[in-house]
Structure 1
Amino acid sequence: MWYRKGRIVEAYSDGSRNSGRGAGSKVNQCPYCNHTTVRKDHMSKHIRTHTGEKPFVCTHCPHRSATKYALNKHIRIHTGEKPYNCSLCPYRASQKSALQCHLLKHKT
């Protein structure tokens, strides 16, 4: 038995592990590094960091992304969508991080 990110993980003699999330939970081990997760979809996304696979394609240009989130963020360049609004002025941003930097200007 060992701890991983605050959870008890049991190692069995056959090499399988139990993360403590129910008897049916199975830990997925990355074949390239020591990363583990109980969610198969998280493992698929993680493996793309090793393989370089980018299955999500922009419909406006040749840009490809490893995650749907990154693709949606990229598409805002083409559409001009700015969903993040400053509550103190008319400023709008396409990315949350840009709004956070802008908000710092109001503090000075």
Structure 2
Amino acid sequence: MNFERPTRRTANGFDTFDLAVDLLVDAGLDHYEWKDEDEYAHVRRLGIITDTEHRAVDAAREETLGMLASRTGVFADADRWATWRWNQAWPTPHLPGPAEAAEGAASTSG
């Protein structure tokens, strides 16, 4: 689970800001560990994450661990994602090449 500021829409697309700390949870939800605590402490020391934001992150951590313990929220269907597999009949997705992207943009612009 990635802890980040809310995504914001801008004139150029979307702004995201990773808060450096992550929660790694095994597929069976039996074990978890915090990742990048040292990076989080460093950005705190630099003042990039304010005291107010740090309190919000701590509250979100507690809320997340509560959902993990009760198997609710994002963890409610963990048994389904632990067994999920790509359907071999699905076509492999691909990004359009530059010419395809330009043609698509031209046909939708007007």
TM-score (norm 1): 0.20
Structure with max Cα Rg: 1
Q: Which structure has the highest helix share of the two?
A: 2
Question: Higher RCO, 1 or 2 (CA under 8 Å, sep at least 6)?
Answer: 2
- What's the TM-score, normalizing by structure 2? 0.20
